[in-house]
Amino acid sequence: MSLERLVLKGFPNLIQIHHSIGRLERLIYLKIKWCPCLRELPHQIGYLTALRELILIQGCSIHYLPDLISNLRFLSRLVVEDTGLVELPSAIKGLSAIKGLVDLEYLCLVNCTSLNSLSDVVGELKSLTELDLSKDNYQGTTSFDL
């Protein structure tokens, strides 16, 4: 299939994304917004080797990204905003030049209030030029090890 852009927006009853998404070899842009019942992404997301932008915004109850996300060598923008993300995949750690998010330039983790530490991940992202950790709700204190 020659699909290059996929936007899933406003599906309040979407529980899962079918594993066949991994067959979209030419997909360069994936945006998932306001899908409050979506709890996880299929690991086949890691098969989208042409993907350049992955955007998860508002209402997604995704706590973890699949480890295979480290296969997305051409991913330059990763936006995870207003989700329940707890941690970034451990597979991002210890990247090599052959495998990993070597082209990731922009990482946005806005309002990911459950996220605790980035120290092991951010230091490995050699192409990272912008990191957005903005938070709208400043109740209490949160500190990040960078």
The closest of 44, 107, 43 to 75, measured between CA atoms, is 107
Q: Where are the alpha helices (DSSP H) in 33-122?
A: 119-122
* 90 vs 44, more confident: 44
Tokens of 4: 């290059």
124, amino acid identity? E
Q: Give tens-digit pLDDT for 79-89.
A: 999 988 888 87
The backbone torsions φ and ψ at residue 109, rounded to the nearest 5 degrees and listed phi first, read: -130, 50
- What confidence score (pLDDT) does residue 113 get? 82
Among 5-19, 30-44, 111-125, where is mean pLDDT lowest?
Answer: 111-125
Walk me through the domains of the chain, giving residue ranges and CATH numbers.
5-132 (3.80.10.10)
Give the pLDDT band (50/70/90) at residue 25.
very high
| Cβ atoms of residues 53 and 33 within 8 Å | no
Reported as a single tens digit per residue, the pLDDT across 98-134 is 357 889 999 999 998 888 777 566 777 889 999 998 8
| pLDDT number for residue 138 | 41
Model pLDDT, residue 116: 73
Note the pTM of the prediction, 2 decimals.
0.86
